[in-house]
Amino acid sequence: MPPDPPAKPPSARSPATHDPAPGIVADGIAAAPHPAVRRLSLYLRQLEAFEAQGRHTASSRDLGRALDLGDAQVRKDLANFGSFGQPGVGYRVAELIDHLRKILGTDRTWDVVLVGAGNIGRALLAYRRFAGKGFRLGAVFDTDPKLHGQSFSGTTVQPVERIPRVVRETKIRLAILAVPAEAAQRSAELLVDAGILGILNFAPVRLQVPAHVYVNSVDLAVQLEQIAFQVNETEKA
């Protein structure tokens, strides 16, 4: 009898569309539940705030209180990624920041390509703080010939036909999609064919991508809906 095929790693993402993706693996660390990964960014932001306040240590309770989470939740989330912290001392802030950046992959600078140099694209290009968070918009592409050669916040718009070459040569793996809805799927395909592995999508469409590509969509209307619901409830009370 042939041997069993090797088991799929816990992070394997099977469906063709996954938004958000179900899991993540970092450097052989066992797959953690996706919400925990999302909270890692919150822990990181809070720890950076603690560090800016001059704090050297923080307990799970401190983190939980600041983020409106239970301390058990904080401990459980972080335990997914290793053993941090010491009883009676808590977490060493600087050390945990380093660990979280490593886990999230932001201990290095990621170049990102931007597709669509319209309102959103230009606003993102003008946002200087990405660099401090480990991201740099390395190239921007648009179909509008009037924009080609124009520079926004120091980055020159290139025709989309250059995407395959630029992505291949620079080995950029992340992209931001800020094109009209009807152009988004085609743009995503172009990016994926060029070698992009992660897309932050602003267009209001659910992208169909291969299983190895991670898509995260931003929808301000959904966020506003959530706030409207909460405010509605408050007004009713």
Other C-beta atoms lying within 10 Å of the C-beta of residue 116: 27
Min dist. Cβ of residue 147 to ligand NAI (A): 6
Min dist. Cβ of residue 153 to ligand NAI (A): 15
Q: Is 219 in the site for ligand NAI (CB under 6 A)?
A: yes
Amino acid in the structure at residue 74? V
Q: Is 194 in the site for ligand NAI (CB under 6 A)?
A: no
Amino acid in the structure at residue 49? A
Between 125 and 203, CB nearer to ligand NAI: 203
Q: Is 117 in the site for ligand NAI (CB under 6 A)?
A: yes
Residue range at the interface with ligand NAI (CB under 6 A); choices 13-21, 52-60, 79-87, 196-204: 196-204
Min dist. Cβ of residue 38 to ligand NAI (A): 17
Q: Which of residues 4-33 bind ligand NAI (CB under 6 A)?
A: none
Taking Cα atoms as reference points, which of 102, 104, 82 lies closest to residue 24? 104
| Coil vs helix vs strand at 152 | strand
CA distance 194 to 213: 12
Interface residue with ligand NAI, options 126, 220, 228, 231 (CB under 6 A): 220
CB proximity list for 137: less than 8 A, separation 6 or greater: 111, 112, 113, 114, 124, 125, 130, 155, 176
Min dist. Cβ of residue 112 to ligand NAI (A): 15
Residue 216 DSSP code: E
Which residues lie across from 7 on neighbouring strands? none
Q: Is 155 in the site for ligand NAI (CB under 6 A)?
A: no
| Coil vs helix vs strand at 158 | strand
Other C-beta atoms lying within 10 Å of the C-beta of residue 177: 27
Contact (Cβ atoms closer than 8 angstroms) between residue 134 and residue 110 = yes
Q: Is 166 in the site for ligand NAI (CB under 6 A)?
A: no
Size, binding site for ligand NAI by CB under 6 A:
25
Residues found near ligand NAI in the complex (CB under 6 A): 115-121, 141-144, 160, 178-181, 183, 186-187, 202-204, 218-220
